[in-house]
Structure 1
Amino acid sequence: MNSNKMFFLFILIFSTMISISSNSWFGCWIGLEINLMSFIPLISKSNNLMASEAALKYFLTQSIASINFLFYIIMKMIFLKNFETNNILLMMINSSMLMKMGAAPFHFWFPNIVEGLSWFNNFILMTWQKITPMILLSYYFNKNLLIFSILLNIIIGALGGLNQTSLRKMMAFSSINNLGWMISSIMISENLWIFYLFMYSFLISTMCLFFYLTNSYFINQLFISNMKPMIKINLLINFLSLGGLPPFIGFLPKWIIINFLMMNNFYFMTFIFIMMSLIMLFFYIRIIYSSFMMNYFKMKWFKINFKNNINNIMNLLSMFSIMGIILSTMFFY
């Protein structure tokens, strides 16, 4: 961690704080711009061409969303009277926020950019970069537009990940799917959203750490890798937890959201959520299956093993995932 990177990371965190604690739309916009300008150097510091391409794409998409947002602010200043009746401007702010976090139908930039980033930058993009747009979205939203976006997120996230061989693109579509859950949680309550984001960040951080340590970017790398059984079991546990399988911790926030949706008579939406979760589990299991096969290609000289302390950290994280059933009973009964 050089001082340069530390500085930009600090500005990144600080800019989010500016946005979410601002009492005017203009302050929120300034925070978003600082956030963008601090994340780009973090992306483009790598030497490879993919990183600089990703930085440019990210800059362009975020700029378009920012211009849209700024235009909304100016229009709000001009048409301050009878503004509440104007639905178009309301949809404009919502769409610019959805575009900023890579939610469907503005998601097309997201998998392309993820493909060019390192695992650490991917972790920031999939977790921290969602906080500001999501909170700004919760201030002022068009319910019908958000429900449309939620359904699209859930469906595109599940179906888009099916034909991917790149682990980064798979995690990108997984993130799009989880965005659907997150938007529905923030429509219910902010506390539930914070809980969901915390759980999701925990699981994504574990996955990104695992892929970073094993230096894995594609499914076939897991297929030929000669890992210790314990490492494989950790991978299995965390993937199933991310998919939201009942005994694991990842199921708990999804369970609460489904509960609230059922209470508010969103039966069709709940049905879509559950069906698409099955597809998500299918392609998570496909990743694990490739590393769990008994007849996989073993290279004698290529053995993946973690240092003792990292091994202990991974075991601890997996232990927390397994404890989901205990924690959920503590929460609910």
Structure 2
Amino acid sequence: MSPTTSTILISSLATGTIITMTSYHWLLAWIGLEINTLAIIPMISTRHHPRSTEAATKYFLTQAAASAMILFSSTTNAWYTGTWDITQMSTTPSHILLTTALAMKLGLAPVHFWLPEVLQGSTMTTALVITTWQKLAPMSLIFMTVNNLSPTMLMTIGLFSSMIGGWGGLNQTQTRKIMAYSSIAHLGWMSTVTSIMTNILVVNLLIYLILTTTMFYSLTLSKSKTIQNMSTSWTISPMLTTTMMLTLLSLGGLPPLTGFAPKWLILEELTMQNLILLATMMAMSSLLSLFFYLRLTYTTTLTLSPNTTQTKHKWRFKPMKPTFPLTIFTPMTIIMLPMMPTIIY
């Protein structure tokens, strides 16, 4: 892809998200989402491979359907209330349609089927963009309309997403599909706490963006597309392997690391709201995700690949991408837990 094309697509991605995040009219929000979708599709299909073309088609159809549903829900709301204001989504059919459409845009269960397939057909960099930047615009719409959305529906979707994100990742061998199910599970936790406390939602989203960026960047540097590739990543850089291990444990939500903070805060808030059963089920579902993170950790750091021909060749290739972003994101992924009280309160 030429530098001019890349610049146009990246600036369109940024513009689309900013338009959606700063708009108070439903038509402007819809335009921002459409710009986002049309900018990411050439980035997905840039490899000119049948798999990437299929991924781009699936992404386009899903996002177009979700955008049409958002437009339909806002039109229905305008028909009943006479206003196109985003914060005035007061009618029941409109906000149910809107929640379903935004869940489809984010890849929440039960409308999550497109996300693992699209990530598998994309490059690592495009998969990173889809799982991080592309979540900002729909999340901002949820944030703006949260007072009118159904808490029961959001919590049910969140619980389903957390469980399916854990179950779906158990039998995967491709790292991009594992990260897709990880994304579904994390967004499920965010959806659960949305209607209770929005500042925890924002903190959770920021931590999710940091952890996912670190993990994808580590996978890109070590060229690990499958679990088998991860077992030979120590030949490129032992330090990078250690970083990947700590990032995976942080994604799993183990206590000394940053990833523990959002789960801790959400479970605390759910129990304070007397939602004991929901909090218990969310905690149990996180064990499923933790299992496949631990499996990746074990494969990456505690096993040596018996295949010597791969290792002979793999150590010769130096990382082609700059490692500076990893030096910024890694400390935040590992040691940001003590800062949480100052961020929240």
The verdict on a shared fold, with TM-score over 0.5 as the criterion, is yes
TM-score for the superposition, normalised by structure 1: 0.91
Structure 1: give runs of 5+ residues left out of the alignment: none
Structure 2: give runs of 5+ residues left out of the alignment: 83-87
Distance in 1 between residues matched to 2:331 and 2:17, nearest whole Å? 31
Alignment-mate amino acid for residue 213 of structure 1: L
Which position in structure 2 is the counterpart of 1:300? 312
Which position in structure 1 is the counterpart of 2:336? 324
Equivalent pairs, count: 332
Correspondence for 1:118 among 123, 128, 132:
123
TM-score for the superposition, normalised by structure 2: 0.88
Distance in 1 between residues matched to 2:327 and 2:320, nearest whole Å? 11
C-alpha distance 94-311 of structure 1, shift in aligned 2 (>3 A)? closer
Offset of 1:79 from its aligned partner? 2.5
Secondary structure of the residue that 1:188 maps to in structure 2?
A: coil
Secondary structure of the residue that 1:161 maps to in structure 2?
A: helix
Distance in 2 between residues matched to 1:309 and 1:124, nearest whole Å? 16
Distance in 2 between residues matched to 1:33 and 1:261, nearest whole Å? 35
Offset of 1:247 from its aligned partner? 0.2
Which position in structure 1 is the counterpart of 2:272? 263
Contact 1:234 1:314 in 2 (8 A): no
Which position in structure 2 is the counterpart of 1:220? 228
Distance in 2 between residues matched to 1:15 and 1:23, nearest whole Å? 14
Contact 2:222 2:319 in 1 (8 A): no
Q: Deviations over 1:11-50 (max 9, x none)?
A: 1111111112111112211111111111112212222221
Contact 1:243 1:284 in 2 (8 A): yes
Distance in 2 between residues matched to 1:51 and 1:131, nearest whole Å? 23
Correspondence for 1:152 among 131, 136, 160:
160
Distance in 2 between residues matched to 1:165 and 1:214, nearest whole Å? 16
Written as runs of structure 1 = structure 2, the 5 A alignment for 1:49-198 is 49-80=50-81, 86-138=91-143, 139=145, 140-198=148-206
Offset of 1:189 from its aligned partner? 3.3
Contact 1:228 1:304 in 2 (8 A): no
Alignment-mate amino acid for residue 259 of structure 1: E
Q: Deviations over 1:85-140 (max 9, x none)?
A: 85233211111111111111111111111111111111111111112112212313
Distance in 2 between residues matched to 1:301 and 1:165, nearest whole Å? 22
Offset of 1:264 from its aligned partner? 0.7
Distance in 2 between residues matched to 1:73 and 1:263, nearest whole Å? 34
Q: Deviations over 1:218-260 (max 9, x none)?
A: 1111224434432221111011011111000111122112221
Distance in 2 between residues matched to 1:209 and 1:264, nearest whole Å? 37
Alignment-mate amino acid for residue 246 of structure 2: I
C-alpha distance 39-322 of structure 1, shift in aligned 2 (>3 A)? closer
Matched, 1:245 2:254: yes
RMSD of aligned Cα (Å): 2.5
Matched, 1:32 2:44: no
Distance in 2 between residues matched to 1:312 and 1:10, nearest whole Å? 22
Secondary structure of the residue that 2:305 maps to in structure 1?
A: coil
- Percent identical pairs in the alignment equals 33
Q: Deviations over 1:274-312 (max 9, x none)?
A: 112222111011112112234422433331775699567
Distance in 1 between residues matched to 2:5 and 2:194, nearest whole Å? 34
Q: Deviations over 1:161-209 (max 9, x none)?
A: 0011111110000000001111123323333222211111111111111
